[in-house]
Structure 1
Amino acid sequence: MMEKYFIGIDVGGTKLAYGLFDRACNLIDRFKAKTNPELEPDEMLDEMCTHIDTLLKNNSLKRSDLMGVGAAFPSHIDYDNGFIITTSSLPKWDNVPVKKLFSEKLGVTVEIDNDANVAAIAEHLFGAGKGKKDMLYITISTGIGGGIIINNSIYRGSYGAAGEFGHMIISDDGYLCGCGNKGCIMSLASGPKIIRYTREKLEEGCHSILSAMVENLDDLTCKHIQDAANIGDQLAIDVINRTGDLLGIMFANLYQIFNINHFVVGGGVSKFGKPLFDRFNEKFRKLSKISYAYPVNIVPAVLGDDVGIIGAAALMLQ
């Protein structure tokens, strides 16, 4: 029997990433392009078909060699019907029947899902959650989101919005979240809010090497904070500890709700590394008061930037 292939697509607000995979979900080749959010959905899907043809041609393949295409979108997805319900990164895509349109254009089976669900599937099948029956995946970057694995299957909820952990309210204070509420964990511990908090502390006069690391505080990044903490800068250390405490509260709440004993944490903020993980583990254990007879693991994700294309391709295996 001739080999058949899958393609996984990670659709972001600024880039499109494509991966070509064999039946065992081994990555064979990849292709990247810029996202043009000004395009109408029909136009962008045509462009994505062209990108797929390029990836196939680069590997001496054609569309008839495909078993299917999976695509991850930064969106609220109606998985069963293949609709994007809402998305902030691609404002023209609300209420678009992407699965139907894309499948008709390509002539192959297409599956779509939320990017956090797709990442959870990837880490569960091939990464830090491999072999675990139940798992929570949490991504902490520009926003905070996640995916829920129960009995080896992704749990999407009644309306496809399960795993929106970033809108868990853990305080009645703090910055205003994009959803309109105050106190969402995403408005306190996501990458942009960590940077905003640090910048405000510097503007208040806190002494820190961070002031000398950038010419303009608007250029401050989480990498600067990590580098400063690594050489003992107290403000940077305090910022990471504060972030760890906030995330520890979220993890404790999630554990009380789901009673799941394996958490996988990804996203750019997780690159703060061991100091962050140690801090939120400490806070989590203090709040959850779990017995050491019932271990709970909070571990870093391992699939890196390929998690989206791997998980998207794995949609075809579900």
Structure 2
Amino acid sequence: MTVLAIDIGGTKLAAGIVDAGGDILARGEVPTLAAEGPERVLERIVRLAKDVLGRPGIPAETIHRIGIGCAGPVDRQAGLILNPPNLPGWVRVPLVEHIEKALGRPAVLENDANAAALGEFRYGAGKGARSLVYLTVSTGIGGGIILDGKIWHGLKDGAGEVGHMTLLPDGPVCGCGNRGCLEALASGPSIARRAREALGTGRPSRLREIRDVTAADVVRLVQEGDAVAAEVWNETVGYLGLGVAAVITILAPERVVIGGGVARAGDPLFEPLRREVRRRVKLVAV
């Protein structure tokens, strides 16, 4: 069965046509522009979906299902987006109803990290495992948990909100309203914020040459030997190591898979993160 897949993130929207083997036949993405509010973003989602469905060679008439992933919290059964920290103003938005009406096909909603976890479990880095934790590190930080081959949703679909575990009780305010969450310390925007704060010390850094610093800029300058960028990045790895170590200690999954925009850093992230996790996990196999 071929389906239309839609991913709603705080930074970008993506849509794709995916066949039963997990192959992507067509795809597209546009900026979310979340500050414009739910109505404008929903319009953008529908336009993107119609564009992908209309691509040459795509048999749109044979696509009868839509799968939607969105940052939590969500109500899967009611098809509602509840109040994601990275989508301001999205309070109990009837997403599934809107998409079904606009595109004329039944849709199902899932937390985006859960959907990604299932994808990795079936087709990607988690293939062959029975248990897996997927972490997305991007505009926000989320988690999806696979236990005995199935998504673990928890009470009221609340499982996997790894980004909102508290690491620093008096740390920076998170979008969820708490302080010191992993997301407030190690997400893409948080890395950029800490880089800007580090410049306040007056130390020399090429970060000063960049008008709007991003996490990708920090990674690039780490590789070029910038000391301030390296300090910010090492802090990031430390915070992520704490979060991953806590998840492993609680669940002892066979695999931990990390994705999202920040994960595109590759070895500068994964090599020190593996070392940090091994250093911190004492009672569980890693």
TM-score (norm 2): 0.86
Answer with 1 or 2: which has the greater Rg: 1
Q: Kindly tell me: are residues 45 and 275 of structure 1, through their superposed partners in 2, closer, same or farther at Cα, counting changes over 3 Å?
A: closer
Tell me the C-alpha RMSD between the 2 structures: 2.7
Map of 1:304 onto structure 2: none
Q: 1:190 aligns with which of 182, 187, 197?
A: 187
Where do 1:182-221 residues align within 5 Å? 182-211=179-208, 213-214=209-210, 216=211, 219-221=212-214
Map of 1:280 onto structure 2: 273
Moved more, 21-30 or 251-260: 21-30
Query: What is the identity, as a one-letter code, of the residue corresponding to 1:268?
Result: G
Aligned-residue offset at 1:265: 0.9
Aligned equivalents of 2:172 and 2:38: distance in 1? 33
Where do 1:95-174 residues align within 5 Å? 95-174=92-171
Is the 8 Å Cα contact of residues 144 and 151 (structure 2) preserved in structure 1? yes
Aligned-residue offset at 1:195: 2.0
Q: Which has the higher contact order (CA 8 A, sep 6+)?
A: 1
Structure 2, unaligned runs of 5 or more: none
Query: What is the identity, as a one-letter code, of the residue corresponding to 2:77?
Result: D
Aligned equivalents of 2:223 and 2:283: distance in 1? 31
Moved more, 104-113 or 178-187: 104-113
Aligned equivalents of 1:14 and 1:237: distance in 2? 25
Map of 1:248 onto structure 2: 241
Is the 8 Å Cα contact of residues 63 and 106 (structure 1) preserved in structure 2? no
Is the 8 Å Cα contact of residues 141 and 190 (structure 1) preserved in structure 2? yes
Q: Indicate the SS of the match to 1:28.
A: strand
Query: What is the identity, as a one-letter code, of the residue corresponding to 1:156?
Result: H
Structure 1, unaligned runs of 5 or more: 297-318
Query: What is the identity, as a one-letter code, of the residue corresponding to 2:96?
Result: K
Q: Indicate the SS of the match to 2:64.
A: strand
Aligned-residue offset at 1:188: 1.5
Aligned equivalents of 1:72 and 1:198: distance in 2? 30
Map of 1:68 onto structure 2: 65
Aligned-residue offset at 1:266: 1.3
Map of 1:21 onto structure 2: 18
Map of 1:305 onto structure 2: none
Q: Indicate the SS of the match to 1:29.
A: strand
Q: Indicate the SS of the match to 2:156.
A: coil
Map of 1:299 onto structure 2: none
Query: What is the identity, as a one-letter code, of the residue corresponding to 1:153?
Result: K
Q: 1:224 aligns with which of 217, 220, 226?
A: 217
Aligned equivalents of 1:237 and 1:106: distance in 2? 47
Is the 8 Å Cα contact of residues 37 and 90 (structure 2) preserved in structure 1? no
Aligned-residue offset at 1:262: 0.9
Is the 8 Å Cα contact of residues 133 and 151 (structure 1) preserved in structure 2? yes
Is the 8 Å Cα contact of residues 20 and 28 (structure 1) preserved in structure 2? yes
Moved more, 75-84 or 255-264: 75-84
Aligned-residue offset at 1:134: 0.7
Moved more, 231-240 or 158-167: 231-240
Moved more, 198-207 or 160-169: 198-207
Aligned-residue offset at 1:181: 2.2
- The CA deviation string for residues 25-45 of structure 1, in whole angstroms up to 9 with x for no partner, is 32112234555765765x876
Moved more, 230-239 or 251-260: 230-239
Where do 1:18-97 residues align within 5 Å? 18-33=15-30, 35=32, 48=45, 51-59=48-56, 64-88=61-85, 90-91=87-88, 93-97=90-94
Q: Kindly tell me: are residues 257 and 21 of structure 1, through their superposed partners in 2, closer, same or farther at Cα, counting changes over 3 Å?
A: same
Aligned-residue offset at 1:208: 2.6
Aligned-residue offset at 1:168: 0.6
Is the 8 Å Cα contact of residues 53 and 62 (structure 1) preserved in structure 2? no
- The CA deviation string for residues 286-314 of structure 1, in whole angstroms up to 9 with x for no partner, is 221147xx3x2xxxxxxxxxxxxxxxxxx
- The CA deviation string for residues 255-284 of structure 1, in whole angstroms up to 9 with x for no partner, is 121111311111222233323323222222
Map of 2:260 onto structure 1: 267
Is the 8 Å Cα contact of residues 85 and 176 (structure 2) preserved in structure 1? no
Is the 8 Å Cα contact of residues 75 and 87 (structure 1) preserved in structure 2? yes
Q: Indicate the SS of the match to 1:163.
A: coil
Where do 1:306-317 residues align within 5 Å? none
